[in-house]
Structure 1
Amino acid sequence: MKKKNFLLGLGLTFSLLLTSQGPVLAAQPVQETTSRIVQNIQALDQGKWAPKNYEAIQALIDQYGIKNPSYNPEKKPYVIFDWDNTSIMHDTEEALFVYQINNLAFKMTPEEFAKVLRANVPAGAFSAQYKNADGKTITLEAIASDIESDYKYLYDHYKGFKGENSLEDIVKTDEFQDFRSKMLFLYEAIIGTHGSKVGYPWVLQFFTNMTTQEVQKLAEASNDYSLGDAIRKVTWTSPTSLAGNAGVVTATHITGIRLTPEIANLMNTFRSNGIDVYVVSASMEEVVEVFATNPKYGYNLPKENVIGMRLETNSDGKIIPKYKQNWFITVNHGKTEVIQSEIAKKRGYGPLFIAGDSDGDYEMMTEFPDTKLVLIINRVKDGNIGKAAARATETANNKQPKFILQGRDENTGMWIPSESTIRLGKSEPELLKK
């Protein structure tokens, strides 16, 4: 290594040339060799980027990547991506939750399941918008007791647990229809009433008694199913025959996940240009790893560059319903904290670029002074992310904007070359929440 560095210090590299006397070393300027390397660096595909966004990101890559003569490989820039609804269309964790419900993919006894249902969720009534068909507000205990009863029936009768009925038969029962409607309703009520810091860790606890390998196998099956499923709104209503303590409830979710080729290409382009890529997600770390690292999906991230929520495991390597001690809740300011702790503190500087789509990403988008560019996937939202989107539109004509807004067609899951988005069920593009 010392000899190599000495030769490079002379400003020369050497190659073998054949002469009549045999091979000899011929000096070549380092600048020429570097030039050839730079010519082979991957450039960003135009894809369906809004034109100004494409220009802004390619300029960022050119300025801070290995094309820049002052690029220092010992101090590589790095970038941060959110995962759900940023790197893909829709939410891998929520799709997996629905997949678990539809396939009864649980490994808990009724007693264990009952504890997980209530774990770390404040008791009492949910917010006023979470009412049953009779217009009455619902408490945690009322709906949890109904779900507990449903799960006990399914546990006793479905052969995937200890019963005799196939999944095809069990899903026809009122108990299953009640179970899935009230499970989804409960998740939405927890998020809507107590926020994502309560709801996001809660949903992970249904992996209790699974190993990481089992969770990832389930996640891959869910991903592949959702990638082939249509994008549509699906409504589940619990049967009147099992009104129970909570009454009849209705819950709606959107099916279908889509890859985002432009993001996959951007990640690969960053890496090709000497810029490290990280994902920081509010989903479970091991679940996002499946999508982000498996070559068949095209994102090609190293496992160690995926950061998300974590649960504790027991001595047998099985998940227990307890959030990882002293680990960050990776949403809102928790994303900033985990980036500071796990990346910025070790490197001595913050991220060059950040991409996100929601209020949960706003803090990391705005709390690092080193960040030069922020990409917002336009979901036509209000709140803090709506404020950031408005700022992106106000500064769209700046030579070096800090925020840029990228649109997509939610009916297809594909991007469109515009800052505006076509929302699901609509045909006209929208720029900002009105």
Structure 2
Amino acid sequence: MRTLLATGLAAVAALTAAAPAGATTPARADHTARAHCPRLDANLPWFGDNRAKLQKMIDERGTCSGKRGPRPVAAFDWDNTVVKNDITDATLAWALKHDGILRPRSWRDTSAWLTPAADKALTKACGTAVPVGAPLPTSRNTACTDEIYEIREKSQTMAGEPAFAGDWDHRRTVPAYAWIPQLFAGHTPAALTSMAKKARAEALAAPVGSKQTVGTHTIAGYVRYYDQQKDLIRTLKRAGFDVYIVSASSEPIAEAWSGGVGLDRAHTIGIRSITEHGRLTARLKGCGGAETGRGDALPYMDGKRCMINQEIFGIKGAAAWKQQDPAHRIALGAGDADTDVTFVNDATGAHIAVNRNKAELMCRAYDDADGRWVAQPMFIDPMPRRSGTYPCSTTAATLPDGTHGPVLRADGSVIPDQPDRAA
């Protein structure tokens, strides 16, 4: 259980000028007083007036507001939101190059949704000569590496056959995401974090724009922290916000990176594996009553809301899937993909949408229903402007059964198609 929200701002209020005795509201027009409030770095470029929007929210919700009550919460996705590129890809690539995957008794044990075709392809490519629980020689076995990475990347085998099948809620989980922590079964959490730290060192040292080869796959070879997001997190913390990472990466992998922005393990939420005798298993912890062990409830889409409600606000059971009242919602949410859209939309103060041309997220960002959306091009190597419009009125939203439909506002009205403007 994560540490729940503090009951007041008393501990952080000392960081700001004290209000006169009996004052009921701060002197918001006092520019001298506001000059001492935590400020975003004016030398770091943001798109349009985004820095000003975020500063306004920090001033309204943070210690300089003079308000009493629970600490406001900010929640950030990780990959391509706080950093450029994907730390799970970087860690898996490092593990495959260094024989970091242990042979399972059966590949079907790694996922309840793995198809017979995928089981057959992995068994053929990776072989059975290595004892169960011993490292697979993926550094030398290109076929094994390719099958693993193709399933990670495309949810299919190298022959193009589906790797996962069955029923799951497409707004709560995706089997390919669950499969990565399941692949590391048999390791201790510390061992997985160690692999992630080694991958981190290589990715941070690699030149921006570099590529790496994994089997015959070519993927990004570098990762970089976004300076603007590091500064935002630092400023939020100074202003009294409780800041969390909520990632669909395996939690031991996310923990290897989150310290780089000043966040500890208690403020790093990821996919959580069930351990036995101190070692990771292929069973995953659920959320909101979805405790099957299969991975039915990941920090993914609606699952990120569930994890925030359960782990930060202490809301248990089925209620964790519901949008809460404003007092029990995050003040700031930041994400880059449709996997983040639910929790980012839940934010009451600012919704940061880092633009990777993901339709459901950008439909909400450009519709800007509450006037608090912050649409931001990627800080490094931004995506080109999308041609045409996002299909907000027809197919931009993912439905629980995996089909697509229109993106709806809170009142049930349909968001019209939106052009790409933050690029």
TM over 0.5: yes
CA distance in 1, matches of 2:214, 2:263: 36
Summarize the alignment of residues 50-129 of structure 1 with structure 2, pairs less than 5 Å apart.
50-69=47-66, 71-72=67-68, 74-106=69-101, 108=102, 110-112=103-105, 114-116=107-109, 119-123=111-115
Paired letter, 1:178: A
CA distance in 1, matches of 2:83, 2:119: 35
Bigger helix share: 1
Paired letter, 2:281: I
Which residue of structure 2 lines up, in the alignment, with residue 147 of structure 1? Answer: 125
Which residue of structure 1 lines up, in the alignment, with residue 408 of structure 2? Answer: none
The answer to whether structure 1 residue 177 and structure 2 residue 142 are counterparts is yes
1:323 to 259, 284, 303: 284
Q: Deviations over 1:194-244 (max 9, x none)?
A: 575211111112222211211111111111111122434556666xxxxxx
Which residue of structure 2 lines up, in the alignment, with residue 259 of structure 1? Answer: 225
Distance change (3 Å), C-alpha of 1:286 and 1:122: closer
Q: Secondary structure at the match of 1:219?
A: helix
CA distance in 2, matches of 1:265, 1:97: 28
Which residue of structure 2 lines up, in the alignment, with residue 42 of structure 1? Answer: 38
Q: Secondary structure at the match of 1:283?
A: strand
> How far is 1:283 from its partner?
0.9
Q: Is the 8 A contact 2:355 2:422 kept in 1?
A: no
CA distance in 2, matches of 1:11, 1:432: 47
Paired letter, 2:98: N
Q: Is the 8 A contact 1:212 1:318 kept in 2?
A: yes
Q: Secondary structure at the match of 2:262?
A: coil
Which residue of structure 2 lines up, in the alignment, with residue 133 of structure 1? Answer: none
Q: Secondary structure at the match of 2:93?
A: helix
Paired letter, 1:212: P
TM-score, normalised by the number of residues in structure 1: 0.68
Which residue of structure 1 lines up, in the alignment, with residue 356 of structure 2? Answer: 379
CA distance in 1, matches of 2:338, 2:188: 31
Which one has a bigger Cα radius of gyration?
A: 1
Which residue of structure 1 lines up, in the alignment, with residue 415 of structure 2? Answer: none
Q: Secondary structure at the match of 1:51?
A: coil
Distance change (3 Å), C-alpha of 1:35 and 1:386: closer
Distance change (3 Å), C-alpha of 1:161 and 1:333: closer
> How far is 1:193 from its partner?
6.8
Q: Secondary structure at the match of 1:277?
A: strand
Q: Secondary structure at the match of 1:313?
A: strand
> How far is 1:36 from its partner?
9.2
Paired letter, 2:272: R
Q: Secondary structure at the match of 1:50?
A: coil
Which residue of structure 1 lines up, in the alignment, with residue 335 of structure 2? Answer: 356
CA distance in 1, matches of 2:222, 2:384: 16
Paired letter, 1:308: G
Which residue of structure 2 lines up, in the alignment, with residue 310 of structure 1? Answer: 272
> How far is 1:148 from its partner?
3.0
Q: Secondary structure at the match of 2:375?
A: strand
CA distance in 1, matches of 2:283, 2:314: 27
| Consecutive unaligned residues in structure 1, runs of 5 or more | 2-7, 13-29, 125-138, 239-250, 412-419, 424-429
CA distance in 2, matches of 1:37, 1:147: 66
Q: Is the 8 A contact 1:280 1:306 kept in 2?
A: yes
CA distance in 2, matches of 1:181, 1:227: 24
The answer to whether structure 1 residue 343 and structure 2 residue 342 are counterparts is no
Q: Is the 8 A contact 2:274 2:283 kept in 1?
A: yes
